[in-house]
Amino acid sequence: MLLWPLMLVLVPVSRPVLTLSSAEDLNFEGAKVTLHCEAQKGSLPIVYQFHHEDAALRSRSAHSAGGVAISFSLTAEHSGNYYCTADNGFGPQCSEAVSLSITDLPDA
């Protein structure tokens, strides 16, 4: 009986997509926002890194499809550009930047 050797094909990550969402759909201080980063292709596990301007925020590993997300409440300091990277050992790929502008809390 001839047994074929197991061939493991590893796929580099594609350019990730960063999406920003808010339950309130408003970007004012105190609103909660979620950043979601996902590479459509790539062998698992994938390490995702979130960035605000040039500062690293958080890293999360994904061991299944669907990407990763982080959530936080907004303050004025959160204004600026966000992007994420995805890496599965073939080198990081960077998303396009998403801009976030925080306004003062609306008057009641």
Question: Does residue 89 form part of some domain?
Answer: yes
CA dist., res. 80 & res. 58, Å (int): 16
Domain containing 60 — which CATH number? 2.60.40.10
pTM of the model: 0.84
What does the DSSP assignment read for 40-92?
Answer: SS-PSPEEEEEEETTEEEEEEEESSSS-EEEEEE--GGG-EEEEEEEESSS--
Tokens 């958080």 -> residue: 58
**Domain count of the fold of the chain:** 1
Question: Does residue 106 form part of some domain?
Answer: no
Question: Does residue 6 form part of some domain?
Answer: no
Question: Does residue 54 form part of some domain?
Answer: yes
Question: What's the pLDDT score for residue 23?
Answer: 58
Question: Does residue 36 form part of some domain?
Answer: yes
Tokens 């001839």 -> residue: 2
Question: What's the pLDDT score for residue 76?
Answer: 84
Question: What's the pLDDT score for residue 106?
Answer: 55
Q: Which range of residues forms the domain containing residue 26?
A: 17-100
pLDDT 10s digits, 57-102: 999 999 999 999 999 988 888 889 999 999 999 999 999 999 988 8
CB 47 within 8 A of CB 86: yes
pLDDT 10s digits, 41-50: 999 999 999 9
Please report which confidence band the pLDDT of residue 26 belongs to, taking 50, 70 and 90 as the band edges: low
CB 74 within 8 A of CB 27: yes
Question: What's the pLDDT score for residue 37?
Answer: 97
HSE-CB of 101 using CA atoms within 13 angstroms: 0
pLDDT 10s digits, 2-24: 566 666 778 999 999 999 887 56
